Amino acid sequence: MGSPAWNTQDEPRTLPVNNLQGWARYVTQVAHRAKGWATHLEVWNEPPNGTGAKQTPADYARIVRTTHSAAKAVDNRFQVGLAAKSAHILYLEQVIKAGARGQFDYVVLHPYESLNGTMRSTGGDRIFASIVPTLRKMLAKMSPTRRDVPVFFTEIGATSELGERFQADALIKAYVLGLVQGVSVIQWFEGMDGDSGPLGLMDAAGNPRQAFHALAALIRYLGRTPTYQGRVALGTQVTGHVFSVNGGPVMVAWGKPMMAPQRVSLQQPSRWLQPGSAVRSAAQIVVGPSPVLVLDVADSLVAAARSGAPDPVDVEMARTDEVFIDFGTRLVEYGLYVVSAQGLDVYGGSQPRGTPDTGQVFAVDPAFLCYDAETIEITVEIERTGPRGRIALRLNYEAATPRGFKTAGGALVMAPAADTAIRSWKIKDARFVNQWGYGFALVSECQECPPGHRVKRISVRKVLA
């Protein structure tokens, strides 16, 4: 934890950059002890968490370089891991730029918030499944020789406080969508309730939760080495992910959050189950947001998954210049998604003020804009829903800063006499990577309560520089 006496920093529990020689000796001793039974050495836990208030990505880069050299000197087979909190890919970019280029063998992320988005947002699956592709896009630019290094989720989890079914569904999505994007190691946090609340597969007394049985079902039916074959649309709201396993193809399918269950055709009588429940057989089943496993997958569905046909949403998002949300009589999300602030478990970061019904936290579809810096214009229109009074909203957006966010200049202001207000922000340095499962947020200047308003429409438009 950075607190030994030889760490001569002014404050405890910081990166020991003032005594890199002491750190090198520490790493050398750890490597000698670990040699023969451990192979991977992760550098720090969730930086910039656990680093000094004034410490920078360059400080972490110095620790990474020193670790890499010291560990490889003991045994060149040691794998050294570059780490970041949540999915803070922009922090890793700054670390590599500051001197960690080529000094790591794998990357560690803890995307709790993105996983929770799969349970809350209609675009959550797309955001979560974009983590590794976005990381690889960054690595290809910043450290090309490390573009294809393994990616580990050494912590990922969901609370059972929102219901055991919620936790079990999140677990299945974590592993399935992890496999979809090529994550090498996924470690559920944690096996049994410990110091982080009710996140365990078992409670503190060792009683198994539904998540325990869900993981057991994945182990049983997907086997040790499932190979992803592709996705297949089973309906307008239901997607199936097909895997090749020793016993034949297996499909895991679920619908979008907050959408009504949909009856879908399996194109032949098939065995299927919801993890934790008995196996049944049917040619048509009703699928909602909770995942189901299909064990006898029709050849036609397997062929569709293997066809490699592009996702229609990817195609649409790549060719459009504007995405939007319209909060009319019917919510319309076109490449821009509402993310529930209430559902985010933020580790090491401030959660934006606001509640789900105000729709103040948003994610841009990664096929529209992800990682790249383009000039964009974000336009927000709000209407009054509460008492008269001044309402002012600030726009926070993802950018390449150590924190990962910036505040746009100027506020969206609705005067006491007005019932509506609109504002546009032209932004040249937004870098959407969905570190916490979203790209930007509207933050009230009210320090004690959310304002009496709701968003009518919000859009993100690409602007020619």
**Would you say 254 and 292 are in contact if contact means Cβ atoms under 8 Å apart?**
yes
pLDDT in tens, 148-157: 999 999 999 9
Summarize the chain as % helix, strand, coil (round to 5).
Answer: 30, 30, 45
Q: Is the pLDDT of residue 357 over 70?
A: no
What residue ranges define each of the domains in the chain, with the CATH number in brackets?
17-225 (3.20.20.80), 230-306 (2.60.40), 312-462 (2.60.120)
Of residues 150, 115, 309, the one with CA closest to residue 230: 309
pLDDT of residue 344: 38
Distance CA 247, CA 296 (A): 10
Over residues 282-290, the mean pLDDT reads 96
What is the reported pLDDT for 455? 87
pLDDT digits (tens, 9 = 90+) for 207-230: 999 999 999 999 999 998 899 999
Average pLDDT over residues 106-132: 95
Cβ proximity of 108 and 82 under 8 Å: yes
- Average pLDDT estimate for 407-421: 93
Asked whether the bond before 48 is cis by omega within 30 degrees of 0, the reply is yes
Please determine, for residue 343, whether its predicted confidence score (pLDDT) is greater than 60. no
Averaged pLDDT, 13-23? 93
Q: Has residue 235 got a pLDDT over 90?
A: no
pLDDT in tens, 435-446: 999 999 988 876
Tell me the pLDDT of the chain averaged across its residues. 91
pLDDT at 267 over 60: yes
What is the pairing mode between strands 336-338 and 361-364?
Answer: antiparallel
Closest CA to 169 of 127, 116, 129, 131: 116
Give tens-digit pLDDT for 162-190.
Answer: 999 999 999 999 999 999 999 999 999 99
Q: What is 301-361 written as a DSSP string?
A: HHHHHHT-PPPHHHHHHHH-SEEEEEESSSEEEEBEEE--GGG---SSSPPPS--GGGT-E
Q: What is the pLDDT of residue 340?
A: 61
353 pLDDT band, cuts 50/70/90, is very low
Q: What is the per-residue pLDDT for 3? A: 82
What is the percent of the chain with per-residue pLDDT over 70, rounded to a whole number? 94
Nearest Cα to Cα of residue 112 among 196, 220, 182, 219 = 196
pLDDT for residue 196: 85
Question: What pTM did the predictor assign?
Answer: 0.93
Res 355 pLDDT > 50: no
